[in-house]
């Protein structure tokens, strides 16, 4: 199923690339008068939008690097590649049609181009067809690879600019980590002070009254001690889930689902165990997103999906709830999650329109 899906996506992408190459050729021809008249601003803006659309088609990001001139050069350079992809698709279709015609004729015991089937002829046609199919599919993969390389070469920022941007991102990420750690410490202190400490004070008073002859208070003191123990365990899990190291991400997320208080469906399909840092961030993304859904969105159901993208060497975490929506990244919990994800060079997105649903997605690199 996965191979069929990848093949379909490849064929769709190459077909879209061929159609867009023709459109880009018409665009460049139509824009020639505006460029000759030295009115390039609108042309450059349109070229940038077209180039960004091609980058998205290939699963890449053009980034903030390209300007209008570079976008125009990219559109002109990719036209031959797009047309080459169309030739490959045409040959694939022609080969498939020819194979069907040969098969249909021979099944009806009719000659094809004056040839009746024989074992040697069937073997020859089969071998030739497989070789041509291999060459054709290789050509399609090659076209996509060349297109991706062209995007990186012509649309990516120059190395010096990329280095400056990377330094700025690392500085921002470092500041975000410090802020996230401070916020987490304050939350732990608040949980201990407002929750566990108050419960222990109440427990101490109950035990003191029981020692002064109120033995009937001992069962109540025992219940209070059990609640304090459960709350201490909950705080410890929020600091770091011990089961994550012992049993892995799937079991830790199952624990999140059990403690949520609403139905939480967890799907965790990982081919191999990711690095510890990735597991930890994935756990906290799910835990915080589920907690927000329970406390703030009025959700009745949460769907959690954790899967790996082996081609990109990433783990994709997706949490969707059916609540009222309207979540804001400026909130403390979600802002902290974004900083956690950024600390390992991941991408964090939030889609939460008014009325719902709310979808939290984190793409975590494993390389």
pLDDT at 47 over 60: yes
Q: Give the pLDDT score at 36.
A: 65
Do 140 and 45 lie in a common domain?
A: yes
Q: What is the mean pLDDT of residues 218-245?
A: 70
Same domain, 190 and 217: yes
253 within 8 A of 265, measured Cβ to Cβ: no
Quick check: 61 pLDDT over 70?
A: no
Give the residue with greater pLDDT, 108 vs 65. 108
Of 157, 183, 201, which one is at a domain's C-terminal end? 157
Looking at residue 182, its pLDDT comes to 61
Asked whether the predicted pLDDT for residue 15 surpasses 70, the reply is yes
Element (H, E) at 365: strand 358-365
Structure confidence at residue 29 as a pLDDT band (50, 70, 90): confident
Pairing of strands 264-269, 302-309: parallel
Same structural domain, 260 and 194: no
- The verdict on residue 184 lying in a domain is yes
Q: Which two tokens stand for residue 49?
A: 């939008």
Confidence of residue 319 (pLDDT cuts 50, 70, 90): very high
The parent domain of residue 182 ranges over 171-239
pLDDT higher at 254 or 227: 254
Same-domain check for residues 117 and 59: yes
User: 205-242 b/e with 16+ CB inside 10 Å = b?
Assistant: ebbebbeeeeeebeeebeebeeebeebbeeeebbeebe
59 and 140 co-located in one domain: yes
The dihedral formed by the CA atoms of 153, 157, 161 and 164, expressed in degrees to the nearest 10: -100
Same domain for 299 and 316, yes or no, is: yes
In a domain, 166, yes or no: no
pLDDT at 18 over 70: yes
Q: Establish whether the linkage from the previous residue to 176 is cis, with ω within 30° of 0.
A: no
**Same domain (yes/no): 258, 228:** no
Under DSSP, the state recorded for 303 is E
For residues 39 and 130, membership in a common domain is answered with yes
Q: Are 302 and 262 in contact (CB under 8 A)?
A: yes
For residue 3, what pLDDT is reported? 63
Same domain, 224 and 132: no
Closest C-alpha to 327, from 299, 292, 303 = 292
- What pLDDT is attached to residue 317? 92
* Together in a domain, 10 and 128: yes
> Could you give the C-alpha distances from 332 to 36, 178, 194, 216, 286, in angstroms and in order?
53, 14, 18, 44, 15
Q: Tell whether the model's pLDDT for residue 83 goes beyond 70.
A: yes
Task: Identify the bridge partners of residue 314 per DSSP, sorted by sequence position.
Answer: 309, 365
Tally of structural domains, the chain = 3
Residue 84: pLDDT band by 50, 70, 90 thresholds?
very high
* pLDDT given for residue 80 in this prediction: 92
165 within a domain of the structure (yes/no): no
H/E element, 362: strand 358-365
Do 146 and 184 lie in one domain? The reply is: no
**Token pair listed for 8:** 């379909």
Element (H, E) at 267: strand 264-269
User: Do residues 184 and 153 both lie within one domain?
Assistant: no
Q: Does the pLDDT value for residue 358 go beyond 80? A: yes
Among residues 102, 125, 157, the one where a domain terminates is 157
- What is the pLDDT at residue 253? 86
pLDDT on residue 344: 82
């Amino acid at each position: 199923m996965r191979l069929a899906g990848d093949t379909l996506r490849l064929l769709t992408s190459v077909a879209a690339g061929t159609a867009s190459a023709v459109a880009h050729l018409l665009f460049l021809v139509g824009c020639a008068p505006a460029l000759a008249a030295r009115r390039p601003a609108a042309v450059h803006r349109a070229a940038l939008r077209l180039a960004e659309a091609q980058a998205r088609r290939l699963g890449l990001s053009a980034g903030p690097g390209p300007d209008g001139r570079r976008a125009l050069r990219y559109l002109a350079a990719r036209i031959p590649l797009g047309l080459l992809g169309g030739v490959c698709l045409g040959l694939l279709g022609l080969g498939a049609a020819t194979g069907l015609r040969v098969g249909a004729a021979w099944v009806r015991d009719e000659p094809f181009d004056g040839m009746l089937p024989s074992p040697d002829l069937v073997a020859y046609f089969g071998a030739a067809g497989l070789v041509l199919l291999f060459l054709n599919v290789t050509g399609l993969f090659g076209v996509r690879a060349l297109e991706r390389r062209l995007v990186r070469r012509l649309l990516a920022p120059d190395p010096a600019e990329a280095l400056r941007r990377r330094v700025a991102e690392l500085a921002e990420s470092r500041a975000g980590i410090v802020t996230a750690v401070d916020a987490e410490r304050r939350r732990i202190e608040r949980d201990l002070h407002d929750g566990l400490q108050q419960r222990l004070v109440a427990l101490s008073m109950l035990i003191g009254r029981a020692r002064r002859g109120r033995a009937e208070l001992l069962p109540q003191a025992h219940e209070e001690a059990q609640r304090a123990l459960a709350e201490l365990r909950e705080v410890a899990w929020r600091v770091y889930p011990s089961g994550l190291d012992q049993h892995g991400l799937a079991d830790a997320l199952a624990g999140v689902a059990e403690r949520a208080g609403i139905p939480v469906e967890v799907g965790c399909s990982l081919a191999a165990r990711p690095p510890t840092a990735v597991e930890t961030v994935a756990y906290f993304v799910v835990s915080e997103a589920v907690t927000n859904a329970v406390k703030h969105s009025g959700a009745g159901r949460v769907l959690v999906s954790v899967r790996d993208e082996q081609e990109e060497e990433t783990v994709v975490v997706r949490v969707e709830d059916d609540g009222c929506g309207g979540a804001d990244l400026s909130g403390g919990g979600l802002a902290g999650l974004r900083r956690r994800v950024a600390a390992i060079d991941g991408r964090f997105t939030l889609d939460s329109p008014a009325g719902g649903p709310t979808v939290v997605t984190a793409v975590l690199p494993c390389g």
